[in-house]
Structure 1
Amino acid sequence: MSRGTAGRPRVVRMSVELPLWRALTGYRILGLAYALGLFALNRHEYAHPLGAALYMGVLTVWTALTWNRVTSAERCTRPFLVTDLAVALTGILLTPLLDTAERIDAGAATLPSIWTCGPVLGLAIKGGWRWAAAGSTLVAVVNLVERGSPARDTVHNVVLVWVASIAIGYIVEVARASERTLARALQIEAATRERERLARDIHDGVLQVLAMVQRRGAQIGGEAAELGRMAGEQEIALRTLIAGGLVPPQRSAAQLAEDAALVRTVAAGTAPGPAPAPPAGPCDVRALLAPHASGRITVSAPGTPVLLEAAAAAELAAAVGAALDNVAKHAGEDAHAWILLEDEPDEVIVTVRDDGPGIPEGRLADAEREGRMGVALSIRGRLRDLGGTAELISVPGQGTEVELKVPRGSENEA
C-alpha cells in the first residue's frame, strides 16, 4: 500500500506469478538449447536423422513463435497449453520411430528431452496442482510407451517430473490465496481509514451541534427542552454508530461528508453552500490558530511565518480546535488555555495546555468504549494520517497538555 497525491491510501496489487512466468520463459529457451545440442552431438547415431532433424526444426520454430505466450497468465491460455503439451508428447512418441532400439534401451534421451517439462510447468502455474497432475501423468504414460518397459531411469525421471510439477502447482495456489488475503486486508485498512476520517468530520460537525442543541434546550425549557432531549438521543445513537464502525447504507460517504460540512457552515452563521477547498501550496499555521485567541485562550507563536502544506495545516488546526472543544466541555467555561506554536527544522509542534481539573486515569479508554471519539479520532487520528503524533499528558488537579507534532516534507521546505 502506498500514498496517493491527496495523502489517502492507495492499494497496490502485487503479483506473485509474474516471476514464475518469466522463469518459465527462460526455461523453455534453455531447454530448447539443451535438446538441440544433444541432438547435434548424436545426430549420426539416429536411425532416421533427417526425420529427427525435421522434428527439432518444428520444435525450434514453435518455441520461437510462442516464447511470449508464457510471459503472463493472460497470454498463456488453455488451448495454447494443450497444444504445447501435444508438441512435447509427439516428440516423445516419435523417438522410437526415429532412433535406434539400442540407444533407447541404453537410456538415451527423447527428442524433446528436458523441454518436455516446460509445458507441464506451464500447466502447474496456470491451473495449480490438479492441472500439473494431469499433464505430468500424460508425460509419464507416453514415456513408458516410448521406452516399452518401466526401466528404473525412466520411472525415476517420471516420478521426479510428477512430484515437482504438483509441488509447484500447490505452491502457486497457496501464493494466490495469500495474495487475495493481502489485497483484502489492504482494502479493509483503506476503508477503515476512510471511515475514521468520516467519523472525525461527523464529530466536528453534527455531534457538536447536537450537543449544543441539547444544552441550550435544557436551559431554555418548554418545547425547547423536548427538542434538546431528542437531540441528545440522536447524539447518543450517532456516537454508537461511529464507535461500531457502521455506515447506514442509504447514505454514502460523500453525502455524509457534505452533511457534516453543511452543519459546520450553519453553526458558523454563514449561508449554506459548498465547503471551500483548501488552497494549494504552503499555508501559515499562525493565521489558522490566531482566531482562537480570546480572554481565556492565549496564543503564542513565532514572529515569522510557520509554513505547512495547506491540507496538513488545516488538519493540524482542526486537531487544535478539537482539543479546545474538550477544554470548554470538560474543564469548564472559566478554564484558561494556552496554545504554543513552535517552528522546528523537521517538524511543527503545537502544544495546547489548560488549567482544568485534568483527566482521571483510564477515562480516555472508557470514552472510546462509550463512543466518544474526540481524542481518538479528531486529534490522534488526524495526526496519524499526517504521519505525526499526538501526546496527551494529564495529572488530576493540574490540568491537561496535548502536544501535536507534524513532520515537514520536502515540498514544505521548498
Structure 2
Amino acid sequence: MGLEAALWRAVAVYRWAALAYAAALIAMNSGGYEHRAGGWAVLAVMTAWTAYATFAFSDPGRRRRRGWPLLGADLGVAVACLLATAWVETTAHLADGRPTLPVSWVAAAVLSWAVYGGKRLGLAAAAVLTAANFLVHVFAETHRLMPSTVNGVVLLFLAGLVVGHVVKLALDAEARLARAVEMEAATRERERLARRIHDSVLQVLAMVQRRGGELGGEAAELGRLAGEQEAALRTLIAAAPPAPPLPVPRSVKAARSAAPSNGARPGGAAGAAGPDVGERADLRPLLNAYASTTVTVSAPATPVLLPEHAAREVDAAVAAALDNVREHGGEGTRAWVLIEDDGAGEVVVSVRDDGPGMPPGRLEEAAADGRLGVAQSIRGRIRDLGGEATIFSAEGEGTEIELTVPSAPPR
C-alpha cells in the first residue's frame, strides 16, 4: 500500500497547488465579476472541499472511504464549481476567453478517479467535466468556444488517460516486486530449514536405513521405511517453493465481493456452487510429495499452474494410480511420475510402473464386478475436468496412465 498512499498524497499536493492558482485568479478578477461575492463563495467551497478531500483520500486509517460515494462527491463538487462560473462571470468576459473560476483545480477529480480505477474511470470523469465546460458556455449564451477552453478539455482527457495508465503499471510493478521479495524470503527460509534438516533428521534416517539392512528381519522393514521417508524429505526440501498467488485485479475483487454470500451462483441454487476458478495452484509441490525410493517424480523447472480445484483433482488421480501400483504391482515395483506443460493449454501427467501389467479386458471386468477405482477415481475425475485419461498396459510390460487436462478452466 506504500505506492498507493504516495499517489493519493500527490493528488492532494496537486489540489492545494491548483487551489492557490485559482485563488490568485479570483482575487485579480473579482472586481469584474457580475456577482463578486459569488466568486469568493466558490473559492470558500473549493478550499473546504480541498481540506476534506485531502484528509478523506489520504488518511490510511480510513481507506474504506475511498469508494464511489467519495469519488462521486469529488466530481460533483468540481462540476458545481465549474457551472457556477456562468452565474458569477459576465458573458462578455467568457466570450473574451476568461478562464472558469476553478481553472485547473477540477482536474484533481479526474486524477482521483484515475488513481482509483485506472484510465477508464479517469476518462469517464474527464467526459463529465467536459460536458460541464460546454454547459457553462450554454448558460452564459456565448456562441463559440475559445481555444483555451478546448485546450483545457484536451488536457483533462490526457490527464485521465495517462495518469490512469501509469498508475496501473505502477501498482502492477509494486505487486510483482512484493511477490519477488516474498519468494526470496521463502527461499531463504527454506534453505535455512534444509541445512538444519540435513544435519539432523536426514542423517538419522540414513543411519536407520543402513543399520536396518545390516540387522535384517523386522529391522530391515524399519530401515526400508526410513529410507522412503528420507527420499521423500529430500525431495520436499529440494523442491522450489510454490509461487505466491498472482495479484487479483480490482475488477475481479469487486465481482467476488458482489457475489451472493450464501454460496449461490448466478443461474444455480444455493450450495451448488462450483470451485473458485480464479485461484491457480502449482501442480509440482503436490506431486513431488509422492517421491520415495520406489517413486520418481520428474517436473519442469517452472511452475505448472492449474485452477486450484483441477490441481487437487489431478493430485487425487495420481494418488489413486500409485495406490494401484502398490496394491497390484508387488514388492519392489517402481513407478515414475512425469509432469509436462506443453505451453499450448494442456498439462499432461504420466504415471508409469514396471509391474506385471494388466491382461486385456481387466478394467472392463473390474467395472462389471463393481470395482470402480480406475473408472471413478482416475477417469471420472479427469473427465469432470474436461480432460482425458488414457491407459496403456500389457502383461509383463507394466502400466502407463496418461492424464491430460486443460490448463485453464472451460469457458
TM-score (norm 2): 0.53
Of 74, 77, 97, the match for 1:87: 77
- Within the alignment, does 1:21 sit opposite 2:11 as a pair? no
CA distance in 2, matches of 1:141, 1:214: 81
Post-superposition shift, 1:47?
Answer: 1.6
Q: Which residue identity does 1:233 align to in structure 2?
A: E
Q: Which moved more, 1:130-139 or 1:239-248?
A: 239-248
| 1:107 shift after superposition | 0.9
- Choose which of 75, 97, 109 in structure 1 pairs with 2:99: 109
Q: Look up the SS of the partner of 1:209 in the other structure.
A: helix
Match of 2:48 among 44, 61, 65: 61
**Structure 1 pair 179–58 and aligned structure 2 pair: CA distance change class (3 A):** same
Q: Take 1:117 and 1:101, find their aligned partners in 2: how far apart are those partners?
A: 24
Q: Distance in 2 between matches of 1:241 and 1:65?
A: 54
> For the structure 1 residues 58 and 236, does the alpha-carbon distance in structure 2 shift closer, same or farther, using more than 3 Å as the test?
closer
1:46 to partner: Cα distance: 1.3
Residues 1:45 and 1:178: Cα distance change in structure 2 (over 3 Å): same
Shift of the 112–199 alpha-carbon distance from structure 1 to 2, 3 Å rule, reads same
Is 1:207 aligned to residue 194 of structure 2? Answer: no
Unaligned runs of 5+ in 2: 139-143, 243-284, 287-411
Q: Aligned in 2, Cα 1:193/1:145: closer, same or farther, shift over 3 Å?
A: same
- Which of the residues 118, 121, 127 maps onto 1:128? 118
Cα distance in 1 between the residues matched to 2:178 and 2:202: 34
Cα distance in 1 for partners of 2:237, 2:53 equals: 56
Partners of 2:83 and 2:44 lie apart in 1 by 16
CA contact (8 A) 1:130 1:169 kept: yes
**In structure 1, which of residues 143, 155, 159 is the aligned counterpart of residue 150 of structure 2?**
155
- Counterpart code for 2:158: V
Q: Give the drift of 1:246.
A: 6.9
Match of 1:37 in 2: 24
Distance 1:203 1:65, change over 3 A: closer
In structure 1, how many angstroms separate the alpha carbons of the residues matched to 2:239 and 2:194?
A: 11
Give the 3 Å change call, closer, same or farther, for CA 22–226 of structure 1 in structure 2. Answer: closer
- Structure 2 CA distance for aligned equivalents of residues 30 and 42 of structure 1: 19
Give aligned-pair identity as a percent. 46
Give the distance between the partners of 1:137 and 1:246, measured in 2 at CA. Answer: 47
- Asked whether the equivalents of residues 24 and 70 of structure 1 are also in contact (C-alpha less than 8 Å), the reply is no
2:34 to 47, 50, 53: 47
The count of aligned residue pairs is 236
- State the Cα distance separating 1:140 from its structure 2 match: 0.9
Q: Is 1:237–2:232 an aligned residue pair?
A: yes
> Do the aligned partners of 2:110 and 2:126 also contact (CA within 8 Å) in 1?
yes
Aligned alpha-carbon RMSD (Å): 2.4
Letter in 1 for 2:150: V
Distance 1:84 1:53 in 2: 20
Q: Retained in 1: the 8 A contact 2:205–2:230?
A: yes
Instruction: State the alpha-carbon separation in 2 of the partners of residues 239 and 76 from structure 1.
Output: 49
Decide whether the 8 Å contact of 1:21 with 1:72 is kept in 2. no
Q: Distance in 2 between matches of 1:102 and 1:236?
A: 88
Task: Report the CA distance between 1:121 and its aligned residue.
Answer: 1.1
Q: Distance in 2 between matches of 1:199 and 1:238?
A: 10
Distance in 2 of aligned mates of 1:125 and 1:246: 34
Shift of 1:180: 1.4
TM-score under structure 1 normalisation?
0.52
Q: CA deviation at 1:20?
A: 2.3
Distance between the aligned counterparts of 2:213 and 2:71, measured in 1? 77
C-alpha separation in 1, matches of 2:100 and 2:24:
13
Residue pairs, 1:267-346, within 5 angstroms: none
Report matched runs for 1:388-407 at 5 Å: none
How far 1:245 moved relative to its partner? 4.4
Structure 2: distance between partners of 1:71 and 1:213: 62
One-letter amino acid of the counterpart of residue 70, structure 1: F
